[in-house]
């Protein structure tokens, strides 16, 4: 089984998207026949679609921009599943992911052929169906609501491309995972990613209770707001980069 992971975080494997993906991959690797193509967009693609339409009339189904996009596309179409993983930026998946999805639109080169009266939507014929998708996002706000726009977008986009979405995983309070807040719950949540990865390769889906654990909040909104505000006030006052924050020195308990 081949799985392609597209990680659009500018921090690559060192970001929080990478952290949760690592646990997920451990689960996927529990099956013996799984091979994973792990792609970091920030390392290989930095060009956006230039709107030339060459992929729709000239080099049909292929992008004329000279970078790694066509090679990634080949990996995608030869996969059983594709994970689209992104950090949440300004209430959406980030720009690198959007640029990638724009360029993936090259497969919609067929003219419009269908109109669905019920939904009042027009569809192109998609001759080459992309593999089923798993949407995988991390953000630092509380709860599922900040991911609503991304979820709506991904559903519409993949409906247009006739791609099945196997699971949507929206991890809130991502940055709080560098704090020892509730170690037991944090470990349970991280382990649920491994269970989710394992379920995907074993059963072809991820069960609802595992997704619920993967996306569970670790702190209440008021604790989140206090912690977040104190954290950034200290970073701003002492010009500390968030990743260098000394939690021993400024533990939340002491600050309260
Ligand atoms: C420019 C920017 C905008 C962000 N906007 C949001 C946001 O709207 N909602 C949210 O929950 N987190 C937001 N975040 C926080 C990131 O989603 C969070 O830090 C995430 O863990 C980053 O993932 P990464 O480490 O893999 O890059 C934002 C971060 C940045 C840098």
CATH number of residue 214's parent domain: 3.40.50.360
Residue 229: is its pLDDT beyond 70? yes
Same domain, 177 and 226: no
d(CA 176, CA 228) in angstroms, rounded, equals: 9
Same domain, 23 and 111: yes
Mean pLDDT of the chain: 92
Same domain, 234 and 192: no
Cβ proximity of 206 and 166 under 8 Å: yes
Q: Taking Cα atoms as reference points, which of 209, 105, 89 lies closest to residue 156?
A: 105
Kindly report the protein residue whose alpha carbon is nearest to atom 4 of ligand 1: 89
Residue 206 alpha carbon to ligand 1 centre in Å: 25
Helices (H) and strands (E) in the chain, counts: 10, 8
The whole-number average pLDDT for the span 27-36 is: 93
Model confidence at 256, pLDDT cuts 50, 70, 90, reads: very low
Kindly report the protein residue whose alpha carbon is nearest to atom 28 of ligand 1: 89
Q: Measured from the CA of 15, which atom of ligand 1 is nearest?
A: 25
Residue span of the structural domain in which 246 resides: 220-256
Portion of the chain with pLDDT greater than 70, in percent = 98
Say what the pLDDT of residue 252 is. Answer: 57
Mapping DSSP to helix (H, G, I), strand (E, B) and coil, where does residue 178 land? helix
Q: Measured from the CA of 9, which atom of ligand 1 is nearest?
A: 27
> Can you give the C-alpha Rg of the chain in angstroms?
20
Kindly report the protein residue whose alpha carbon is nearest to atom 31 of ligand 1: 89
Same domain, 239 and 126: no
Say what the pLDDT of residue 251 is. Answer: 66
Q: Measured from the CA of 17, which atom of ligand 1 is nearest?
A: 26
Same domain, 239 and 152: no
Model confidence at 128, pLDDT cuts 50, 70, 90, reads: confident
Same domain, 117 and 199: yes
Q: Is the CB of 68 under 6 A from ligand 1?
A: no
Q: Is the CB of 27 under 6 A from ligand 1?
A: no
Structural domains of the chain, count: 2
């Amino acid at each position: 089984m081949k799985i392609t992971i597209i990680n659009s975080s500018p921090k690559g494997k060192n970001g929080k998207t990478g952290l949760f993906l690592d646990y997920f991959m451990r689960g996927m690797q529990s099956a013996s026949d799984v091979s994973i193509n792990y792609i970091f967009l920030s390392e290989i693609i930095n060009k956006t679609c230039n709107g030339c339409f060459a992929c729709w009339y000239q080099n049909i189904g292929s992008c004329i921009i000279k970078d790694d996009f066509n090679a990634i596309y080949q990996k995608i179409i030869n996969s059983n599943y594709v994970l689209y993983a992104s950090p949440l930026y300004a209430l959406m998946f980030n720009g690198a992911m959007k640029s990638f999805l724009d360029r993936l639109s090259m497969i919609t080169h067929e003219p419009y052929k269908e109109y669905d009266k019920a939904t009042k939507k027009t569809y192109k014929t998609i001759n080459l169906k992309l593999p089923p998708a798993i949407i995988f996002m991390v953000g630092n706000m509380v709860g599922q609501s900040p991911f609503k726009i991304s979820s709506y977008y991904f559903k519409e986009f993949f409906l247009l491309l006739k791609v099945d979405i196997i699971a949507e995983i929206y991890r809130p309070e991502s940055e709080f995972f560098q704090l020892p807040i509730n170690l037991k719950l944090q470990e349970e949540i991280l382990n649920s990613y491994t269970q989710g990865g394992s379920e995907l390769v074993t059963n072809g889906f991820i069960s609802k209770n595992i997704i619920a654990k993967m996306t569970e909040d670790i702190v209440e909104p008021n604790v989140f707001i206090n912690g977040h505000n104190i954290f950034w006030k200290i970073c701003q006052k002492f010009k500390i980069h968030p990743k260098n924050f000394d939690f021993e020195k400024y533990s939340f308990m002491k600050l309260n």
